[in-house]
Structure 1
Amino acid sequence: MQRVSLGRRLSKRWMLIVAVVVLVVAGFAVYRLHSIFASQDVTSTPSGAGNDIVPFNPKHVVMEVFGPPGTVATITYLDVNAQPQHADAVALPWSYDTTTTQPAVFVNVQAQGNTDSIGCRIKIDDAVKDERTANEVNAFIYCLDKSG
C-alpha cells in the first residue's frame, strides 16, 4: 500500500481550494458591505400617510344660455372633462349642471340663436365666473372660464 503525501493531493486539487477560498472571502466582503451601508434596514412609508391626503372639495358647475321666450339656439360647449359637446335646435333657457372633484375646471359655452338677443352665464359654486349678452341679428355669444 502506497502512501500519498498531503502535498501531492493538494497539488491536484489546488483549483478547487482556491475557488472555495475566493467564495468565502467574497461572501464575507458582501456581508460587511451590507452592514456598512445599512441595506438590512427596510425603509417604507408610514402606515398613516394615506390619511394625510385631503380630497378636493367638489365643484358645482352650471352653464346657462338664455334668451327671449321662443328662442331656439345651437349650442356647443366643453363639459367638465374638457370634451366638446353639441346641442342642436335647443329651446332656451338651457343649462348644463354637474358636480366634479377635479382640482380645476375649464368650461366654455357658445351659442347662436334665431333671435336678436341671447346671453350666457357660467357659475362655479354659485359664483358667476363669466356672463355676457349679445343684441344683434342672429345673435352669437360665448362664455369661458378656465380658472374653475
Structure 2
Amino acid sequence: MFRVVQRIWIPMVVVMVVAIAVFAVSRLHGVAGSPAHVPNAIRDGSEPVIPKDVIYEVFGPEGTTGQANFLDEHSQPQRVNFTTLPWSYTISTKLMSVFANVVAQGNSGALGCRITVNGEVRDEQSVTAHNAQVFCLVKSA
C-alpha cells in the first residue's frame, strides 16, 4: 500500500492544483469583466478618440534664421530651415498619446520654443546666448 501511495501522490497533487486554478479563473471571469458581462457599447471594437492638436512654435527676434528639428505625428524626426520668426508647425492626430519634441537653433542671441496641446501650453523654454539653441519636450500629450 505504501508503494502505491508513493507512486501516485505527485500526480494527485498536480490534479488538485489544476482543479483549484480552473475554479479560481472561472470565478474571476465572472467578477472581472468577462465578455458576457461587458456592455454592448464597449464590445463593438470602437476605441475612445480624443483628437489632439499639437503646435510646435519657435520664437525670437525678427530676422533670425536657423533650423528646427521636431518629431512628426508618427514620431519620425523632421528638420526644417526657417528664415524668419515666429515659426510654427501643427500636428493633428487621433492617437491615444503623442511624444512631442522640438529643438531649434538660430543665429540670434535669444530664442524660445513652445509646445501647445489642445490650446494648453505644455512646455515653454527660452535661452539667451550667442547662436542660441532651445529645446522643448512633452513626454505624453
Please classify the TM superposition score into its range, dividing by the shorter chain length. Answer: 0.5 to 0.7
Aligned to 1:26: none
Q: Counterparts of 1:71 and 1:107 in 2: how far apart (Å)?
A: 23
Of 41, 44, 47, the residue aligned with 1:50 is 44
Q: Counterparts of 2:101 and 2:84 in 1: how far apart (Å)?
A: 19
**Structure 2, unaligned stretches of length 5 or more?**
1-34
Kindly indicate whether residue 136 of structure 2 is the aligned counterpart of residue 139 of structure 1.
no
Of 105, 114, 128, the residue aligned with 1:112 is 105
- Equivalenced residue count is 104
Aligned to 2:75: 82
TM-score by length of 1: 0.64
Aligned to 1:72: 65
- Report the structure number with the largest CA radius of gyration: 1
State the secondary structure of the residue aligned to 2:83: strand
Which is worse superposed, 80-89 or 109-118?
A: 80-89
State the Cα distance separating 1:89 from its structure 2 match.
4.2
TM-score by length of 2: 0.67
Identity %: 42
State the secondary structure of the residue aligned to 1:69: coil
Letter in 2 for 1:50: D
Letter in 2 for 1:120: C
Structure 1 runs (4+) greater than 3 angstroms displaced: none
Q: Counterparts of 2:105 and 2:138 in 1: how far apart (Å)?
A: 19
Aligned to 1:60: 53
**Structure 1, unaligned stretches of length 5 or more?**
1-43
Question: CA offsets, 1:92-129, max 9 Å, x none?
Answer: 11101121000000011001000000000000011111
State the secondary structure of the residue aligned to 1:142: strand
Question: CA offsets, 1:59-103, max 9 Å, x none?
Answer: 011010011011112111111210000012432111011210000
State the secondary structure of the residue aligned to 1:91: coil
